[in-house]
Amino acid sequence: MLEQQSRLALQRTRRLFIRQQSAIINSIRAHLAEFGIGGRRHSVTKLIADSNDARVPEVARVCIAALGVQFRQLKTQILELKRWERQAWRRPDRKRDRLKKVVHQDSLLGDPSAFP
């Protein structure tokens, strides 16, 4: 039971971080659109990395850079949670293993070719 609750907490946290990441991306795009800059993901990424772009005023660049830092931190945390999630599903679960045995036994009993 505790293992299942832990897995759910892990999934919910990861989903929350993904929603926050999407919100940050949308916020960056909205800020850039205010200055007439829009486009593909790669151009937005380059703009975040380029602190000397004259199309965006300095104050806005600072805000976009701060959002970029937050975005990268969330991305790192999402990947870390994904790694934990994979490990959690690999751990032995007694209830799941018992259920597999029961299902396997039922399938053997229901299969006429299993009997000589």
Q: Over the stretch 48-69, which tens digit does the pLDDT of each residue have?
A: 666 677 888 889 888 988 999 9
Give the pLDDT confidence score for residue 57 in this predicted structure: 87
Q: Give the Cα separation of 55 and 52 in Å (integer).
A: 9
Q: Render 40-64 in DSSP notation, one character per residue.
A: -HHHHHHHHH-TT-TTS-HHHHHHH
> Comparing 34-38, 45-49, 54-58, which segment has the lowest mean pLDDT?
45-49
Provide the whole-model pTM. Answer: 0.67
Q: Give the Cα separation of 12 and 18 in Å (integer).
A: 10
Give the pLDDT confidence score for residue 97 in this predicted structure: 66
Give the pLDDT confidence score for residue 69 in this predicted structure: 92
Q: Under a CB-based contact definition with an 8 Å cutoff, are residues 48 and 68 in contact? A: yes
